[in-house]
Structure 1
Amino acid sequence: MAPDPEPPRSMLSADLDALLTAVGAAAATSDLGREYRMLRQIVDGAAAAVAILDPDLRYRYVNPYMARMNGLPAASHIGHTMDEVLPGLHRSEEVLRQVLRDGEPRELIATGYRWARSPHARREWRATYHRLVSERGEVVGVAGIGLEIAEPRRYLHELEYAHQRMTLLDTAANQIGTTLDVDTTCGELTGFVVPSLADAACVELFSSERAGRQRLDAGRPTGLRRVAFRAAAPLTERLGDLATPGAFEEYVRAAPLRRRLEQGRFWLYDLRGPDAGDGGPGCIDRVARCRAAGIRSAVVVPLASDARLLGALTLVRGDSSPVFTRQDAVVAQDLAARAARALSRAVHYDREHTMALELQRALLSEPSVPHPNLETASRYLPADDSTLVGGDWFDSLALPGNRNMLVIGDVMGHGVEAAVAMSHYRSMLRAMAINGLPPHQVLSRADQLVSESGFGRVATCLLALGDPRTGTLTYANAGHLPPLRLSTEGVAEIVPVPVGPPLGTGYGRYGSVVRPGVPGAVLLMYTDGLVERRGEDIDVSLDRLTRLRLNPRDPLETILDEALAQLTGGRAAEDDIALLAVRTKGPRPLPDDGSEPA
């Protein structure tokens, strides 16, 4: 009969079945054997690293989970120290010796590398160690139970990073694009990213003649205008004219930087690296100057909205700041995408504002000269808000018999459409007045034509027909504010004129009222932007007009300037303002309210 196998040197690390066979069948089937089998199954199957070390801190047992975590078989651990098994791991053995000395459990953080492959560049573990004492009171070692915390920490870091990123983007939505002004929006963007994301930042937009063009000739430089720049004072001084808004830069389309911007990708580079000048010939000089200013790294992200490239946002960091990472670049790109939407709206309204303003000025500057017996002066002031350029207009027509038709009007709504509608009304009223219709019939016919055409743009209008033969002025009003008369003594009075509905409603029932005049009086016709204020009753607004202090003998240009200064106080207008001042030059007086003709 073969002798029983010799028990293993370490019962803890022995194979469970071999161990129980070695100690004999009686022991294996006893309560102690069953409990030992159960405990070994629990420890061997645990989803945590379990290790037992002797007083010399040599491994006596590692469970399968720890063997897999370390990337070594369990047998390779037994009898070896931690440094021998895992030389790339950093931890304090002194903590374990303290556990051996005083018996107090302690936690130990270990960082570094093990033999097993891992997606983490650097791994981290946390373990708790307890002292082991025999039944005779002898210290026989320590037992440790640990888990890798690199993955949970990475998850928490990513969660925290995502939260910070969302907070940053949400804050940006409230602080960038608060107006529809392009320069203001660009300034808000650079002010937001400095210093939270960069030491300095600038926004460059395509020059107006190339804005939004995607297909340019290969190799042809693309002009970008520096609209906004933000940095700490010392860095601004060192960069010199590179920090000056308004300058133009050239980016060759064939260069890698230009291609990345067109493709909607960011450009991340070290200014000290060999690819730092890939923006093109002009970029090489800028990189050299940035290096001399102490700039270490940069990231350039496109400003694009609706597949249209508007420009670029450039962020830089100096020597004392960490280099930009890909995560930083992704945040900058997301931030630029949100800012680009606000910037696109600002660019759109800026273009619409310019188009409407130029159209309106072109129409108002068309030849419109009354008869020599009438002196006129006019003003048009667009609202401060670029969305409010629209349909205010004035006109003066020379008619047969030395008569003059004076017109002031306001199309409801704003923008290019309102300016176009204003031109339609202006042309239509001119044609009807030239055909000899009296003022009230001119309004009735215009109201009918507009309502039947479905044009959809309602307008207010005030007509005044001056006849030097009778020294009278005939008024007709379609929902407009009444005119103001400045007497020869300088007293400002509202001229009462019956009011009909605005043009385009189809309900026009208009009448005319005839008023005589006095020599030297001035008639002022205006749109509501001159007097109306939000939340203020119209009677209060009109009363403000009567408190004007003007000299009727001054040139009409001076009278208009004084009226604007007294009514607006130099503040930006809330709405467009159109003004028309008239005064007779011949022997016949200017029509007036209540005085006998001369």
Structure 2
Amino acid sequence: MDRGTEAGAAPSREAGNGAAEYAAVGRIPLAVVTVDRDGLVSHWSTGARRLFGAPKEDAVGRPAVDLLPVSGALPEDDDTAPYAAYAAYAAYDGLGPDLESSLGGRLSYPAAGRARLTVAGHDRIDVLWWAYPLVGPGQERLLVLAADAAAMRHEGDDADGAAVERIAPGFALHTDFPGAEGLARRLPEILPSMSVGESARIVAQVLELGYPVLEFSQNDRVPVTPDWGVPRRTERKARRERAARAAAYGAPVPQDVQDEGEDLEYVAVRERLEFLNEVSGRIGTSLDLTQTILEVSRAVVPRFTDVAGTYLREQVVAGEGFPEGVPDTTTMWHRVALEHTDEPGRWDDVVPVGEAMPFPAHTPFFQCMTTGEPVLVPRISEQMGHMIAAQFEKRDIRPLITNRSMLVVPLKARNVVLGFMILLRHPERVEFNDMDRVTGAELAARAGLVLDNARMYTYQESVAETLQDSMLPHIAPRMAGCDIATRYLPGTLLGRVGGDWFDSVKLPGSRTALVVGDVMGHGLNSAAMMGQLRTAVQTMAALDLPPAQLLRNLDDLAQRLGDNYLATCLYAVYDPIAGELQIANAGHIPPVLVRAEDGHSELLDLPTGAPIGVGGVPFEAVRVRVAPGDRLVMCTDGLVEVRGEDIGVGLATLCESAAHPAASMDDACDTIISALNTRGGRKDDVALLMARLNGIASEAVAEWRLSLDPIEVGRARAVVREQLHVWGLAGLADSAELMVSELVTNAVRHAHSRQIELRLVRGDTLLCEVDDDDHTLPTLLSAGPGDEFGRGLRVVSTLAREWGTSRTSAGKTVWFELTLPRR
């Protein structure tokens, strides 16, 4: 057979048999017709108009029996089995006399036939046809392919085309036909003017049933591959030349030139538009950058290309700001996706996803990313393949790319190249052309906007998350006399930035301040206000203000910051030595206290107070006695409040889940989150703080009162050394004695009238505090060799694990901590 047969030409005969002869493939123009479940024509291709003479507008909607070459075979009076009689034609043409009965009166298998019919304006034509039954949700129930048998005649054959002995659907995918894979790749081109969804569904069934095949007298099988339907450039050029010559002599333009040019161009353009519309619907379904990248890559394979590799700039992948400047040879490009129709694993090891590399200036990729325009390479030559492969160390990609058609399209947004896509077609597939270049550019433009939206969302989400994390404190899990666990959940619908916060502050006397607050509103403004209020609470807590006074000062600050500053706040001070909580509330939901003795949980009854920023409303503190092991749970209303539900339901669930026994503080927090966060409708962010109030036993605390006499410095050193020996901490005695001597000396020198208080607390560390009635806080000084003063705090700063000063209502406290020796 002639392997180079063009569309419309007849394949010639060669002598001989064998597998090699089956590789011959003939190409002829096809008429494509679909028939719906009512027996009416629903699709009538340009090829059908040329073959049968009826224009599309006259054919669609008419009974198929009036138009197709099998007229009379379709029963017009039986709506239930409109295609049954095709089996009779199949039997007539040699498919077997029992086919109709075996099908139960309905066509469920591909059939074929040959018919002579008269077309207006033409002689009688000899038509070959193949019929494929269709199943599925659509209206189409029959696909008919037809061709002019004259295209199959050979020189020397008689007028009846006796060389064609049998016409049958051939199962190319289920036989030893060596060209089956090549034909399968042409299947998407069989219905060029149908919608994408219909075409995909119908082509899948044709592929399963088999290609139309002609069998000649020599028993050579010639599969008929559908033509694309768009004439070659040379053919279009020839028609234009004919039209130009006709116009030069004043003759009318031939009708075939007018009709063919208009119809085929219209079909091609419409198909491209349908493809772009399909791609647009498949990408951009998510703002997740990774998901968007996969959608863009998968949208073009295999419909438009066989291989699609997506590369993005490093800043885009990292979720950083918008990349600036024109890319150069140092710009790193990350391969973020690779889709292909080759055998699995063929590309994975050679060009793995995740690899980053620059591209040299002599490559088409560099040209695309610097100009921002598509680059078309009809065929990658051996030389170009070697040039491209040179940058892949220890890998030879030439077998993957050589002799393939390549189109490189930029992914742009706001005139900046974010990345590019490398599209490759198999060598046996039609090359990319100028229309494909335009289609690829439009595809890339749409994909670039979608990627930029996803990039911007990812960047803004990263900025918001960084801002939120920077504003939330990193609380130590252990404070003096208590363990703390926290959780923060961003709002699920209103962004990752909110105004909820929690905090803990170390206070004099081994006390700890616990804070939970909620700025009203969402977004950056609320987060900014939250940062200001949290800083203010930290500062005022360090002044050891009583809870009610602290909220009063915070309310005044909020009013000075602006009229729109409103927030709720719960402020508690835990004294582990006294076993007491002092709590004040500013419009916040009450905390839950879980008693260790019996596991009972309750909402603490506190004066509600008004939100911070209202102004002119007094705040009141409440003292609550607690026992070692009790747990305090403080949270924002986002955890318990659900739209359309009474908040009392959420508070009850909070109490119940807080009382649930847990192996650790983290497990207890997770239990609460699980119980409350599974309810639908939560939109607000959530801050949760849980503190286990362990207390400090009285035998772990030692206190002394010292008079304002320098002789008390020696007494202080002696009592400290003795107490550390009692606690078994003699190894810390020397350092502790020296630092206590310095602090008591300063207190004796600067105190006014009240006695000095010295306290040692043994907990996770050894804490020493010295209180006096002087409000001036000491500072580190740079003492010279001749200076008499200024070295005391330098000694403390050098020897202590941690030290600090804070004001109290009566004066100040200077303290230091020493790390306990390992046991």
TM-score (norm 2): 0.48
Q: Take 1:97 and 1:372, find their aligned partners in 2: how far apart are those partners?
A: 104
Residue identity matched to 2:574: G
Give SS of 2:349's match. helix
Letter in 2 for 1:331: T
CA positional deviation for 1:500: 4.6
Closer/same/farther in 2, CA of residues 438 and 365 from structure 1, 3 Å limit: closer
**Inter-CA distance 471–217: structure 2 relative to 1 (3 Å threshold):** same
Alignment of 1:91-490 (within 5 A): 98=123, 120-123=236-239, 147-151=254-258, 153-208=260-315, 212-215=322-325, 219-220=329-330, 222-232=331-341, 234-242=342-350, 244-252=352-360, 255-273=363-381, 274-275=383-384, 281-282=390-391, 287-291=397-401, 296-366=404-474, 371-382=479-490, 387-412=495-520, 418-454=526-562, 458-468=566-576, 471-488=579-596, 489-490=598-599
How many angstroms apart in 1 are the aligned matches of 2:388 and 2:646?
60
- Distance change >3 Å, CA 461–CA 349, structure 1 → 2: farther
Change (3 A) 1:146 1:355: closer
- Which residue in the other structure is 2:146 paired with? none
CA positional deviation for 1:164:
4.7
1:112 counterpart residue number: none
1:199 Cα deviation after fit: 2.4
TM-superposition CA deviations, 1:307-347 (whole Å, max 9, x none): 33222223332245332222223222222222222322222
Deviation of 1:487 after TM superposition, in Å, equals: 2.6
Amino acid at match of 2:348: G
Q: How far has the Cα of 1:406 moved from its partner?
A: 0.8
C-alpha distance in 2 between matches for 1:217 and 1:262: 6
Which structure 2 residues correspond to residues 525-540 of structure 1 after superposition, within 5 A?
Answer: 525-533=634-642, 535-540=644-649
Select the residue among 518, 527, 538 that pairs with 2:627.
518
**SS of the residue 2:287 aligns to:** coil
For 2:626, what is the secondary structure of its paired residue?
strand
Q: In structure 1, how many angstroms separate the alpha carbons of the residues matched to 2:482 and 2:353? A: 49
Structure 2, unmatched stretches of 5+, are 1-118, 125-233, 244-250, 699-823
Map 1:510-589 onto structure 2 (within 5 A).
510-533=619-642, 535-548=644-657, 554-568=663-677, 576-587=685-696
Q: Is 457-466 or 361-370 further displaced after alignment? A: 361-370
Report Cα offsets for 1:498-524 as digits up to 9, x if no partner.
445544566866444443333321112
The answer to whether the Cα contact below 8 Å between 1:252 and 1:280 also exists between their aligned partners in 2 is no
Letter in 2 for 1:394: F
Shift of 1:410: 3.5
Contact between 1:123 and 1:148, CA under 8 Å: does it hold in 2?
no
- What 5-or-longer segments of structure 1 have no aligned partner? 1-93, 100-117, 128-143, 590-598
Contact 2:577 2:696 in 1 (8 A): no
Deviates more, 1:145-154 or 1:181-190: 145-154
Rounded Cα–Cα distance in structure 1 between residues aligned with 2:312 and 2:645: 41
Alpha-carbon distance, 1:396 to partner: 0.5
Q: For 1:532-572, what per-residue CA distance to the aligned partner results, in whole angstroms no more than 9, with x for missing partners?
A: 44554433333322332755574322322333344446999
Shift of 1:397: 0.8
Instruction: Determine the C-alpha separation between the residues in 2 that align with 1:259 and 1:403.
Output: 67
After superposition, the Cα gap between the structure-2 partners of 1:183 and 1:519, relative to the gap in structure 1 and judged at 3 Å, is: same
Q: SS of 2:449's equivalent? A: helix
Aligned partners of 1:484 and 1:493 also within 8 Å = yes
Residue 202 of structure 1 contacts residue 315 of structure 1 at CA under 8 Å; is this kept in 2? yes
SS at match of 2:453: helix
* Mapped partners of 2:595, 2:505: distance in 1: 24
Alpha-carbon distance change, 485 to 240 in structure 1, aligned in 2, over 3 angstroms: same
Distance 2:278 2:619 in 1: 55
8 Å contact 2:579–2:695 — kept in the other structure?
Answer: no
**What is the rounded CA distance, in whole Å, between the counterparts of 2:299 and 2:681 in structure 1?**
27
Residues 22-70 of structure 1 show CA distances to partners (whole Å, capped at 9, x for unaligned) of xxxxxxxxxxxxxxxxxxxxxxxxxxxxxxxxxxxxxxxxxxxxxxxxx
Q: Distance in 2 between matches of 1:206 and 1:547?
A: 51
Q: Distance in 1 between matches of 2:642 and 2:423?
A: 44
CA-atom RMSD in angstroms: 4.2
| Counterpart residue type for residue 268 of structure 1 | L
Rounded to whole Å, the distance in 2 between the matches of 1:155 and 1:451 is 74
- 3-state SS in 1 of match to 2:687: strand
CA 351–155 in structure 1, closer or farther in 2 if over 3 Å, else same: same
Q: TM (normalized to structure 1)? A: 0.64
**C-alpha distance in 2, partners of 1:278/1:575?**
56
Q: CA deviation digits over 1:285-325, x for unaligned, max 9?
A: 67514237xx8223222222123322222333224533222
SS of equivalent residue, structure 2 residue 462: helix
Moved more, 354-363 or 390-399: 354-363
Deviates more, 1:395-404 or 1:353-362: 353-362
2:296 & 2:417 partners in 1: Cα distance? Answer: 17
Q: Distance in 1 between matches of 2:591 and 2:576?
A: 19
In the TM superposition, residue 582 of structure 1 has moved relative to its aligned partner by 0.5
Contact 2:413 2:452 in 1 (8 A): yes
* Separation in 1, partners of 2:258, 2:615: 74
How far, CA to CA, are the matches of 1:342 and 1:318 in structure 2?
28
Distance in 2 (alpha carbons) for counterparts of 1:431 and 1:264: 54
CA distance in 1, matches of 2:552, 2:259: 79
SS class of match (2:237): coil
Within 2, Cα distance between the matches of 1:478 and 1:337? 53
Aligned partner of residue 268 in structure 1, secondary structure:
strand
Q: Which residue is equivalent to 2:803?
A: none
The letter of the residue matching 2:298 is G
**Paired AA for residue 398 in structure 2:** A
SS in 2 for 1:545: helix
- Equivalent in the alignment of 1:64: none
Matched-pair contact (CA < 8 Å) for 1:522–1:552: no
Alpha carbons 2:486, 2:688 under 8 Å: kept: yes
- Could you tell me how far 1:445 is from its partner in structure 2? 3.2
